[in-house]
Amino acid sequence: MSYLMRFGRFWWDFVVGDDWRSAALVVVGIGATAAVAASDIPAWWVMPLAVVVVLFVSLRREA
């Protein structure tokens, strides 16, 4: 494995870890927050809700 690939793998494991779906849902949540905020509707509730969904989905798969 090349040095560059090992470096990339390290950062992937570091930030994303063994559950890429959670990281993907976080990105979706941030996108939804930006979309709601752009439409002049209060957007503070989106990320807390997204976190509950992420936890539910990831815990359900493992327990």
Interacting residues toward another protein by CB under 8 A: 14-19, 22-23, 26-27, 29-31, 33-34, 36-38, 42-44, 46-48, 51-52, 54-55, 58-59, 62-63
Least CB distance to another protein at residue 16 (A) = 6
Q: How far apart are CA 10 and CA 61, in angstroms?
A: 24
Q: Provide, rounded to whole angstroms, the least separation between the CB of residue 8 and another protein.
A: 15
Q: How far is the CB of 2 from another protein (least distance, A)?
A: 20
Nearest to 53 by CA among 34, 15, 27: 27
Identity of the residue, 5 or 11, whose beta carbon is nearer to another protein in the bound complex: 11
At residue 32, the 3 state secondary structure works out as helix
Q: Name 58's Cβ contacts closer than 8 Å, sequence gap at least 6.
A: 19, 21, 22
